[in-house]
Every structure is written in structure tokens, then in C-alpha cells.
């Protein structure tokens, strides 16, 4: 049988997972009466809630087209730059890729990122201009933009001669010519079979077994499951294998207990095993991880693994030591937190965990606030209680000059014309440099900037306020440059509780003129907890527990019921972006609270004087 391995890559929200839904449906994976869900590949709870893909996942379809029956292994990848580590790993497993570009939005920063990775590996992408049925779609402009991007990224003549196809993933059709209507995805299936070469490693089917582990997960029944493409030989249940690290040192020995192949949305065990070129998942080892080589006992050389771009943002995750600690979560000890973080770093190669100099604290470095936010949200749902510091950028030192280098990001903003002035003004004050600005149709302007990563920490909320929720900001790590100097923070001060207890409606009602509240009446608070944002620039210690003094003398005026403005409760990402260096976010399964690192106001003032 013919075999093809492809990845679907694109910028966030350009329709990858929806297109995979249509490919699955039209290849006959589902029975006629089978209930199907939208975005079937987004199986994770957070993926469904956020509407984004977080983890790369494999599926497989059978296509009976012009070239006969072909099995196509498809890998759906995340579009968000924070999860770029997933894309970098899986591109080594495939022989071709379909790069999706939105027919209205055009080429975006993440398109450039994923395309660069694909071209570097020598893949010859297929350009799929998706969502051509949108009201403001301009497929010709997008096709030209894509060609310019290929050329700018240093594509070879062979890669520049890429085929293109127009599609609507949601409606489930594709066509090579917009003047020739289509009602199915057959043209896309046939193009994939024609353009993507079969795996070259199929010729090595008679050699000893060897495979590079690219994805890792754990199963309660099978234990550790490692997914990858078989580089040579055949994987069969019962085969004795060993795992080698990147340097060729042996990690462990074991036997393959199960060979699982992707068949539609399910993984099916193969009794007779699978041959070189196929993408499979293998169970049976307990220590091997991502980037390790699984091979026959007779082999001693490791397969080369793709280097992963370095993390750019880090934060400290520590044991929750607030007065309310241990009341809502079941996993609070530093040992348990450490094991969970190390387990995450093992499966997600873009995250790095190190012991911090502080007591019971760990330094977690990743690609961005969203990636770290997703990790903390997962831990929170598992019953962990932790305290998190403000994100910091990961600096590097120039080996030649010794000067400090900081990460720089490419920023692309789509915003209504009336808000361009305020956006450019705010970002320029944060040391961002304007590269290009042009109208993008429908009354919108596209602004392209080069900005230090640290100036974008905490900016998203301010940006949405400035653009009245209509702006879209996309960013992707570009490179390291010399340190740009200090950036002024423009956040207002906070209202800090000066005692422990439960908040009183009367006290909050009196405090409302001081600023915006983060808590409601009847909630537990403690000394040093942040209960609101001050309307002025400095921090203010307040008493949210003060009740109305009652007397036995009836008042002449009728007592009015107190009506409070609903509190502004920050989400986890908003809280992480909001806090300053002397503050922490307390995360428990039930609550997200903001607090000062130093709870006692006298000690805070003393420390501020020392600084």
C-alpha cells in the first residue's frame, strides 16, 4: 500500500483542525450513524475551552484516489507561537507539509516561523489558501505574499515551485482553480498523494529496527507511550530493544509490549507490527523520552534529533505559603510540585525546569506567558496549590563582547485605523521599533514592529482596552539583540488588605471610590493580599473588614441596602501578566488570588527603603 506522512502547519486560527475534521469525514473514517464532534483532534479540555490546539496529534486516513489506495498519516500541529516546540519536533517525522494561510488575513508571524522550520528540513510544502469563502478574502494577494515569504526565507528553486490549492475547511471543499467549483476535498487528497514523496526510509525495511521518539504520553494501562516514525526495520510486539540518548549512551533495555498504529481517531494495536516509514506509538519502556533513539540491540548509533529553540520567558513556581494555604488543594508539598514540573519538562521539550536559589521554589522557563499559563492551569485542575512570580525574560550573554542580550519578537497588529496612533505610541514607549504599516482592507491597518519580549509582558490587557477589544496582536520570537535599557512600567498601584478576616460589604462600598475591586463581600482575605487596583500610582493599605457601627438609636433616614459594583476577577493569564516583581499569584483549585511577596506592611516598607 502507498504511504504518505504529512503535517498541517499554519498560524493560529487559520483553520488547521477544522480542515482535518473535513479530511477525516470525507475519507470514511466515521460510520454513517456515528456521532462526531467539531474539532475532533482538540481532545484536551483546555484545547476545547480556549479554542486552540496545544499538543501535536497524529491521525490517519485511507484515500482511494487516482493513485490507488493510499494511507495518509496526518499530524495536526498547534498554531500558537508559545507551543512552537511541538511543531519543531514533529516536522522531522514527515516527508511533506500543507501550509495553511487565511485568504483574508494573509501571511502572519507564525506562518513565517513554521515555514522556516519546514524549508530548513528540505520539505516541499503545499500552499493551501483556506477560508476563500470569507467576505473580504483576497486569494491572489495572499498567494503573492506567500511566494514573497518563500523567497525571503531562502527557499530553493524546487521549494519555490510549490503547488497551491484553494479551500474552505469548514464547508469541506477544495479546488485547484476558483473558476471550477468543487463540493469535496478530493483535489487536496490527490495533490498530497502526487506531490508528497513516499517515505525514503521504506527501502530500509530489512535492516535492524530504529526509531526516534518525538512525542511522549502516559497511559494508565500501558505505561509510557513513545510516538515516532520508524527509520528502519520493523517494530513488532515482543522485540527486544534499547534506548539511546542523543550522545549514543544507553538509557535502558526492554521489550516492545504494544505497537499502536493511528487509524482515524483511534489507536489500534498491530499484532504483526509495522514497517519503516510508518508513524507508530510504542509501549514497553519506562525511562526513554523525547529525542531518544529506540533501536535493536545490535545498534549503537543514535539518530540526530532536531535542536529546539531556547526558552525566552521564565517564572518562579514555589510552594504556597499564604495564611490560606492547604485549605483548597490536595498537592501542596515542594516534592510533589517538583516531580510534576519535571514530568512536564520531560514530555514538553520547550520547557526547562531548574532548582531556584529560594527555598521550595523552582525556575520554569518556556516560550511565552500562554504556555506557562496552560501548565499552571493543568496543575491547578489536578489539585495543586502554588505561588507564581511575575514572568521574566531569559537573557543571554554575547560570547564575543560579553554584553547582555535580550529576546526580540516580531509583532504584527491588525487594528482599526482610529486606534493606530495610541498603539504605536504605547509600544514606542516600550522600546518597540516600527517596521511597516499599511492598510489591510475593511478599515483595518496592519502594523509590523520589532519589540523586546519584556515590553510585551502584561501589555495584552492594555492593548485590548486601547483598541476597545477590536485589535488582534500576534507575536513570535525572532532573535536575540543587545539589551535595550530599562522600560518604564505604567501600571497603577494596588489596594492591599491590612488584616485577616472576611470582607464586609460596607467596607468595600466605601473603598469603591479608591479604585476597582478584585474581591466581593464575604470572601476570606489576609494581610498582604491584593484586593483591588488603586486609582493612583502608589500602593495603599486598606481595611476591607470594617463593618458599619450599629447603635440602639433609630436613624431618621431609612438605611439603604448596599449595592456593590461586581468585582473584576482576573483570569490566570491576566493575573500573571498584571503582577509586579514584588508580588505573587496564589493559584489553588478554587481561587486565583494576588498578594504581596512580603505580607507584613512594616517589612515591605523596610525592604523598599533598602532597595
Domain assignments of the chain as residue spans, ordered by start: 2-198, 202-296, 397-482, 494-549+562-608
pLDDT tens sequence across 323-346: 988 888 888 888 899 999 988 887
* 193 marked among binding-site residues: no
* Average pLDDT estimate for 35-57: 64
User: 564: Cβ–Cβ under 8 A, 6 or more apart, which residues?
Assistant: 505, 508, 509, 512, 517, 520, 521
Distance, in Å, from the CA atom of 250 to the CA atom of 71, rounded to the nearest integer, reads 34
DSSP string, 384-427: B-EEEPPPEE--EE-TTT--EEEEEEEEEEEEEGGGHHHHHHHH
Q: Is the pLDDT of residue 350 over 70?
A: yes
Q: Is the pLDDT of residue 557 over 60?
A: no
Distance, in Å, from the CA atom of 611 to the CA atom of 75, rounded to the nearest integer, reads 52
| pLDDT value for 129 | 92
State the CATH class of domain 202-296: mainly beta
pLDDT tens sequence across 156-183: 899 899 999 999 888 888 999 888 888 8
Do the first three CATH levels of 2-198 and 494-549+562-608 match, i.e. the same topology?
A: no
Percentage of the residues of the chain whose pLDDT score is greater than 70: 92
* 70 marked among binding-site residues: no
Angle separating helix axes 186-195 and 16-26, nearest 10 degrees: 100
Alpha helices in 279-412 (DSSP H): 334-347, 369-381
CA proximity to 52, closest of 491, 463, 377, 477: 377
Do the Cβ atoms of 127 and 156 come closer than 8 Å? Answer: no
DSSP class of residue 519 equals: S
Distance, in Å, from the CA atom of 452 to the CA atom of 429, rounded to the nearest integer, reads 12
Task: Using CA atoms of 411, 416, 421, 423 in order, give the dihedral in degrees to the nearest 10.
Answer: -40
* 258 marked among binding-site residues: no
Reply yes or no on domain 397-482 having CATH 3.30.70.240: yes
* 16 marked among binding-site residues: yes
pLDDT tens sequence across 569-590: 888 888 888 888 888 999 999 9
Strands (E), 34-102: 57-65, 68-76, 96-102
Name residue, grid cell 498601584: 493
* 132 marked among binding-site residues: yes
Torsion sign over Cα 456, 86, 570, 354: negative
Do the Cβ atoms of 215 and 59 come closer than 8 Å? Answer: no
More confident residue, 523 or 1: 523
pLDDT tens sequence across 261-295: 887 777 888 888 788 888 888 998 888 888 888 99
Average pLDDT over all residues of the chain: 84
| pLDDT value for 165 | 92
* Arch. (CATH architecture) of 2-198: 3-Layer(aba) Sandwich (3.40)
* 131 marked among binding-site residues: yes
User: 500: Cβ–Cβ under 8 A, 6 or more apart, which residues?
Assistant: 323, 525, 526, 527
User: 607: Cβ–Cβ under 8 A, 6 or more apart, which residues?
Assistant: 582, 598
Cell of 363: 525556575
State the CATH class of domain 494-549+562-608: mainly beta
Cell of 242: 534499547
* 15 marked among binding-site residues: yes
What is the pTM for the complete model shown?
Answer: 0.79
Amino acid at each position: 500500500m502507498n504511504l504518505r506522512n504529512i503535517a498541517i502547519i499554519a498560524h493560529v486560527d487559520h483553520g488547521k483542525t477544522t480542515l482535518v475534521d473535513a479530511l477525516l469525514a470525507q475519507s470514511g473514517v466515521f460510520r454513517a450513524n456515528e456521532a462526531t464532534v467539531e474539532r475532533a483532534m482538540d481532545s484536551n479540555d483546555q484545547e476545547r475551552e480556549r479554542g486552540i490546539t496545544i499538543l501535536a496529534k497524529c491521525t490517519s486516513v485511507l484515500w482511494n484516489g487516482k493513485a490507488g489506495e493510499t494511507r495518509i498519516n496526518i499530524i495536526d500541529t498547534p498554531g500558537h507561537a508559545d507551543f512552537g516546540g511541538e511543531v519543531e519536533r514533529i516536522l522531522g517525522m514527515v516527508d511533506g507539509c500543507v501550509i495553511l494561510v487565511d485568504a483574508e488575513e494573509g501571511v502572519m508571524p507564525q506562518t513565517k516561523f513554521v515555514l522556516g522550520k519546514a524549508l530548513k528540513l528540505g520539505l516541499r510544502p503545499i500552499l493551501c489558501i483556506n477560508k476563500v469563502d470569507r467576505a473580504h478574502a483576497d486569494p491572489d494577494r495572499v498567494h503573492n505574499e506567500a511566494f514573497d515569504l518563500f523567497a525571503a526565507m531562502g527557499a530553493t528553486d524546487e521549494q519555490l515551485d510549490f503547488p497551491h490549492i484553494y479551500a474552505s475547511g469548514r464547508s469541506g471543499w477544495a479546488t485547484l482553480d476558483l473558476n471550477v467549483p468543487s463540493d469535496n476535498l478530493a483535489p487536496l487528497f490527490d495533490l498530497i498523494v502526487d506531490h508528497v514523496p513516499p517515505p525514503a526510509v521504506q527501502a530500509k525495511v530489512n535492516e535492524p529496527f530504529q526509531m526516534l521518539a518525538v512525542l511522549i504520553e502516559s497511559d494508565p494501562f500501558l505505561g509510557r507511550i513513545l510516538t515516532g516514525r520508524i527509520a528502519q526495520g520493523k517494530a513488532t510486539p515482543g522485540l527486544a530493544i534499547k534506548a539511546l540518548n542523543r550522545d549514543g549512551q544507553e538509557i535502558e533495555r526492554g521489550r516492545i509490549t504494544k505497537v499502536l498504529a493511528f487509524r482515524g481517531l483511534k489507536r489500534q494495536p498491530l499484532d504483526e507490527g509495522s514497517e519503516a516509514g510508518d508513524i507508530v506509538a510504542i509501549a514497553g519502556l519506562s525511562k526513554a523520552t523525547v529525542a531518544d533513539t529506540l533501536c535493536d540491540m545490535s545498534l549503537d548509533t543514535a539518530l540526530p534529533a532536531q535542536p529546539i529553540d531556547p526558552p525566552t520567558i521564565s517564572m518562579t513556581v514555589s510552594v504556597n505559603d499564604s495564611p490560606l494555604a492547604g485549605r483548597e488543594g490536595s498537592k501542596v508539598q515542594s516534592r510533589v510540585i517538583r516531580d510534576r514540573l519535571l514530568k512536564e519538562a520531560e514530555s514538553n521539550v520547550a520547557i526547562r525546569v531548574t532548582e531556584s536559589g529560594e527555598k521550595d521554589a523552582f525556575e520554569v522557563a518556556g516560550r511565552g506567558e500562554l504556555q506557562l499559563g496552560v501548565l499552571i492551569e493543568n496543575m491547578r485542575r489536578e489539585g495543586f496549590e502554588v505561588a507564581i512570580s511575575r514572568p521574566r525574560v531569559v537573557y543571554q550573554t554575547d560570547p564575543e563582547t560579553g554584553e547582555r542580550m535580550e529576546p526580540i519578537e516580531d509583532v504584527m497588529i491588525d487594528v482599526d485605523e482610529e486606534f493606530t496612533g495610541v498603539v504605536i505610541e504605547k509600544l514606542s514607549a516600550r522600546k518597540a521599533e516600527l517596521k511597516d504599516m499599511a492598510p489591510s482592507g475593511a478599515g483595518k491597518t496592519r502594523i509590523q514592529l520589532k519589540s523586546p519580549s519584556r515590553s510585551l509582558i502584561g501589555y495584552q490587557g492594555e492593548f485590548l482596552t486601547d483598541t476597545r477589544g477590536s485589535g488582534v496582536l500576534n507575536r513570535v520570537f525572532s532573535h536575540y539583540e543587545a539589551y535595550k535599557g530599562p522600560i518604564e512600567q505604567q501600571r497603577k498601584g494596588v489596594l492591599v488588605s491590612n488584616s485577616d478576616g472576611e470582607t464586609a460589604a460596607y467596607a468595600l462600598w466605601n473603598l469603591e471610590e479608591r479604585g476597582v475591586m478584585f474581591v466581593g463581600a464575604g470572601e476570606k482575605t489576609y494581610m498582604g493580599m491584593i484586593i483591588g487596583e488603586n486609582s493612583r500610582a502608589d500602593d495603599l493599605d486598606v481595611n476591607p473588614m470594617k463593618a458599619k457601627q450599629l447603635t440602639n438609636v433609630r436613624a431618621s433616614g431609612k438605611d439603604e441596602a448596599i449595592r456593590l459594583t461586581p468585582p473584576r476577577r482576573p483570569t490566570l493569564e491576566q493575573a500573571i501578566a498584571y503582577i509586579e516583581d514584588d508580588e505573587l499569584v496564589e493559584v489553588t483549585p478554587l481561587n486565583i488570588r494576588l498578594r504581596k511577596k512580603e505580607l507584613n506592611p512594616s517589612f515591605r516598607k523596610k525592604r523598599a527603603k533598602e532597595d
